[in-house]
Structure 1
């Protein structure tokens, strides 16, 4: 799980550098984190 979070964080950081994708990156990261917290995995 920690490795996935690191990958997500790196991805978010890279996309956030592009102002055109900030909103989408936030949605992707939020959805991914909620998926990680979901017991059904």
Structure 2
């Protein structure tokens, strides 16, 4: 449950820190990779 809610919290923090599209893309790539390996 915490693992599923974590990305939303991190996304809010990142949106608060910066609106840089490049950083958002990097975040999604990193989180997607981590999530992919976590579910293997």
TM-score by structure 1 length? Answer: 0.53
5+ long unaligned stretches in structure 2: none
5+ long unaligned stretches in structure 1: none
Q: Give the number of the structure with larger relative contact order, counting CA–CA contacts within 8 Å between residues 6 or more apart.
A: 2
Length, aligned pairs only: 36
| Per-residue deviation, 1:22 | 0.7
User: How large is the Cα RMSD of the aligned pairs?
Assistant: 1.8
CA distance in 2, matches of 1:35, 1:13: 23
Which residue does the alignment assign to 2:3? 4
